[in-house]
Amino acid sequence: MRVGLDYRPALQNREGIGRYARELVRGMIELGFAQDLGLFGYTLAPMRFSRAELGIAGTKAELVRLRVPSKWLPGLMQRLGRGADDLVGGAEVFHHTQPNVLPVRNAAQVATIFDCIFMLRGAGYLDDAVAERMTQAAREQVKLAKRILVPSQYVGAEVVMALGAHPARVSVTELGCDHIARALPPEGFGKAREPYILTVARVDPRKNHLRMLEAFERLVREGFPHRWVIAGPRGYQHEIFSRALELSPAKHRVQWIVDAPEAELPKLYAQADCFVFASLNEGFGLPPLEAMACGAPVVTSCVTSLPEVCGDAAFLVEPTDSERIFEAVRRVLAEPEIAIELRTRGKVQARKFTWRECAKHTLLAYRKALEPEVDEPKLKHVF
């Protein structure tokens, strides 16, 4: 089974879809599937990672790369009479890893849909034009793909209800967090010079930094000595948080690392007294698992996918109530037995999520995509 995979996010994106594409391929290589992988890397932007950093150096995985603008690809392939499956060596299965549908000629198509946040119009999470483009791409993927991959049961239900995918074509392939564990030194990092709580997330309204700031201001008023370290780039409407931070009486205790080096994240996680991630909507939620893998006690939201992913290993709170966020973090900082319990449970929970398992279930989905088609029963929506 020859597989083509849209590897473009892996070449430039440090977070999110880029992480997924890189680590999924690593997992497949670990399972001995490298010789059957054709990695589609046509993009004008230069590679931000070397082949060694990508984990494909010295393997039989083939990176097929031509530096052309992505917007040229549909027209270029049409003129050549070729699809992305042809360009990676005649793939039997082609995997779309991002909300961007490449032309495919003969291969069975598989698509990963990470969430349906783009369909929440009016929530202020995305620019309307971007949301519309992503919605149209997702609908096209559902129409064309023999198999839809989702990172959680929560997203699986969303894909069925919001995008009309038949449940029989949906496969849950949970993400891994063992990439962060690989970077932990056996001797650990020791204690931080100054105590801090940590949030790792792109700064945008969905990640809920405003309410976390309110909770942190209350911690400062209560006399806690901690700083709040935010590691994450500027996202959509980040200016809203920037203005609030500038006016905050606790701004001198907040450190925002806009471009945190990936190599520094394990230490940031490991030395944090509490990791707080009060996101309003997640399709999976990788940072809380990364924090657990590094031994940080986690406070996160009780909504969307986060209870499913974090289980009983995190302190779950209502993210729209800054008072509840404050109280949860206060208890973790003030009651050592709670912090110890969360650290212990968190390490156990994090070990359940590996990229090898993600790759294994993804390969099973590829094989299902090649099975003969059967007539699916029509879905009836009852209101």
Which DSSP helix (H) or strand (E) runs through 203?
Answer: none
Q: Which of 9, 190, 25, 4 is nearest to 83 (CA)?
A: 4
Show the low-confidence residues of the chain (pLDDT under 50): 382-383
Q: What is the pLDDT of residue 381?
A: 53
The residue type at 99: P
Beta-sheet pairing, 147-150 with 274-277: unpaired
CATH fold label, 179-350: Rossmann fold (3.40.50)
User: pTM of the full predicted structure?
Assistant: 0.93
Q: What is the pLDDT of residue 376?
A: 62
Q: What is the pLDDT of residue 16?
A: 86
Q: Where are the domains of the chain?
A: 3-176+355-369, 179-350
Pairwise CA distance, residues 256 & 246, whole Å: 12
- For 16, the token pair is 């999110």
- Kindly report the CATH class assigned to 3-176+355-369: alpha beta
pLDDT digits (tens, 9 = 90+) for 3-61: 999 999 999 888 889 999 999 999 999 999 999 999 999 999 889 999 999 999 999 99
Pairwise CA distance, residues 37 & 59, whole Å: 10
Direct distance between the N- and C-terminal alpha carbons of the chain, in angstroms, rounded to an integer: 43
Q: Which of 127, 92, 109, 157 is nearest to 308 (CA)?
A: 157
Q: Which of 290, 264, 275, 278 is nearest to 181 (CA)?
A: 290
Q: What is the pLDDT of residue 162?
A: 95
Q: Which of 261, 239, 236, 248 is nearest to 212 (CA)?
A: 248
pLDDT digits (tens, 9 = 90+) for 170-217: 999 999 999 998 889 988 898 999 999 999 999 999 999 999 999 999
Q: Which of 358, 160, 196, 217 is nearest to 276 (CA)?
A: 196
Q: Do domains 3-176+355-369 and 179-350 have the same CATH topology?
A: yes
Chain-centroid distance of CA 359 in Å reads 15
Pairwise CA distance, residues 239 & 245, whole Å: 10
